[in-house]
Amino acid sequence: MKNIVIIGSGVAGLSTACRLQSRGFKVTVLEANAYPGGKLTEFSRNGYRFDAGPSLFTMPNFLDDVFIHAGKDPREYYEYQKLAISCLYFFDDKTRLTAYADKELFAKEVNDKLQVSGKAVLAYLSKSKDIYTTAAHIFLENSLHKSKTWFTKSVAKALPKIPQLGLFETMHQRNVRLLNDDRLVQLFDRYATYNGSDPYQAPGILTSIPHLEFNVGTFLPKGGMHSITKALYQLAIDSGVEFRFNTRAKEITTNGNRATGVRTETKHITADVVVSNLDVYPTYQKLLPKAKVPKKILSQERSSSALIFYWAIKKEFPELDLHNIFFAKDYRAEFSTLFKTHTLHKDPTVYINITSKYCKTDAPTGCENWFVMINVPANTGQDWDTLIAKARAIIIRKLNRLLNTNIETWIETEDILDPRTIEGRTSSYQGSLYGTSSNNKFAAFLRHPNFSGEFKNLYFCGGSAHPGGGIPLCLQSARITSTLISEQFTDLRV
């Protein structure tokens, strides 16, 4: 039985392992940490449980497909519920808006609270769906770097619709054109942050993202987001995947135009195929010393990172839900600060995730587990200790004003995650959450391919490769990568 070695056990690494093992390959996963999951992990503190990483779950069918592909019933591994409320929005002028999952209810809410026609909202969401259904099959299910992708019925059908896809205007420009309220524009601009980008630069095609929440739905796995990692890991174990934890890859060894294996701190593991679920930047800089470096790809602007405070709150806030957004007053200035001056904005948008609203065991009775996050620039050597202290004070003042409380008196314990620790734990270059940003209309084409152009048996998956970061895209990255390997190396199966 011949070997495939995968470096890294993030969502894409786990999914790729499951797909390849079920196709008859022998898969070994090397993980530098003592646990699987990459950014999608958890921790507990004094009776509170926190999801440490991604907090939003959309497109559960992408995850289900991994289990179905392996011949398993997804519900035997994890369960989830559809949420009635996608998010609660708090604006600087103290307007509060409930984003109901039911788009008709949401349209009525917008009409009642913002005095914007509900028909305009429904028309916007219809256009969002149209863009997604036109482009998704091309961009999310295929390699953009294989010529055969461009000679398909999907591409032929999409070509006449290119002017409607928003490729020639920014996300913000498109939202201003289609929506008639600054607050509503801000709400839909925020979806650029789902891949760590700036709506004032990112292309309008990203207005397809709201379709996933309002036309498909927002979901929560039973037991929290870390249940996704546990389910994929259990599927991998059940399928026969071998894991080697506390095993850091030191080099991808090569000979001519082929990868020969992976060298760790203690041994050399030979492989017929190598897959890197590591960020492409450290993959080239640290693991491929003899390879041709794709300088244009590696020099692209990085996505934003995050500063997260995990607060154990000794109080319940009934006015909050699972997902809560407290907007900056000046959104343009916030993104300019993130991507141009690379520092902390004086009034950042604050996101609060509270899983104990639905998973009651995540916090003691009468208490809540707060995951409090702001977008921050990738780490380029900023004085993070000073910025963290400044951010904490700003966040507390903002929440006190908009919630009419004194939040600091209710904080029982505090843990912090910043770009430095994100990079240290997950090898994400500069702590960026999504690899490169999408602040370019050609960004989808500029991501690293799922395969190496130099080594015929070296592949890539995860947030820094095509199609991008976030759980749904990482799952699709795994699907694309495993399909490419299966098509090329059928002779390596059992």
Domain shared by 326 and 420, yes or no: yes
Residue 237 sits in the same domain as residue 209 = no
- Pair 346, 422 in one domain: yes
Whether residue 417 is found in the same domain as residue 446:
no
Q: For residue 154, what pLDDT band results from cuts at 50, 70 and 90?
A: low
Phi and psi at residue 449, in whole multiples of 5°?
-60, 165
**Residue 337 and residue 410 share a domain:** yes
pLDDT at 2: 81
Shared domain check, 460 and 447 = yes
Residue 167's pLDDT is 78
Q: Which CATH number fits the domain that encloses residue 34?
A: 3.50.50.60
**Looking at the structure, do residues 421 and 312 belong to the same domain, yes or no?**
yes
Neighbours of 255 (CB within 10 A): 10
Phi, psi for 3 (deg, rounded to 5): -110, 145
Measured distance between the N- and C-terminal CA atoms of the chain, rounded to whole angstroms: 6
Alpha helix stretches (DSSP H) within 80-168:
103-114, 118-141, 153-158
Tell whether 314 and 415 lie within a shared domain.
yes
Residue 406 and residue 455 in one domain: no
Tell me if the bond preceding 467 is cis, omega within 30° of 0. Answer: yes
Cβ partners under 8 Å of residue 163, min gap 6: none
Confidence (pLDDT) at 180: 86
Sign of CA dihedral 153, 136, 82, 57: positive
Task: Please indicate, yes or no, if residue 46 is contained in any of the structural domains.
Answer: no
The DSSP symbol for 87 reads: E
Residue 293 domain flag: yes
In a domain, 55, yes or no: no
Report the pLDDT value the prediction gives residue 437, as an integer from 0 to 100: 93
Domain boundary residue among 426, 450, 484? 426
Give the per-residue pLDDT at 166.
74
Kindly state whether residues 354 and 444 are assigned to the same domain.
Answer: no
Residue 97 falls inside a structural domain:
no
Tokens 């059940």: give the residue.
Answer: 238
Decide if 90 is inside a domain.
no
**Enclosing domain of residue 200:** 107-216
Q: Beta strand pairing status for 350-353 and 368-376?
A: antiparallel
Same-domain check for residues 295 and 309: no
pLDDT of 5-56, one tens digit each? 999 999 999 999 999 999 999 999 999 999 999 999 999 999 999 999 999 9
- The string of pLDDT tens digits covering residues 245-286 is 999 999 999 999 999 999 999 999 999 999 999 999 999 999
pLDDT of 247 reads: 98
CATH number of the domain at 124, please.
1.10.405
Asked if residue 160 has pLDDT above 80, the reply is no
How many domains are there within the chain?
Answer: 3
What CA–CA distance (Å, rounded) separates 44 from 51?
9
Q: What is the pLDDT of residue 145?
A: 73
Find the mean pLDDT for residues 385-404: 98
Q: Of 216, 242, 275, which residue sits at a domain end?
A: 216
Q: How confident is the model at residue 155 (pLDDT cuts 50, 70, 90)?
A: low
Flag whether 56 is in a domain. Answer: no
**Is the CA virtual torsion 123, 127, 130, 136 positive or negative?**
negative
Please answer whether residues 255 and 71 qualify as being in contact, where contact means their C-beta atoms are separated by less than 8 angstroms: no
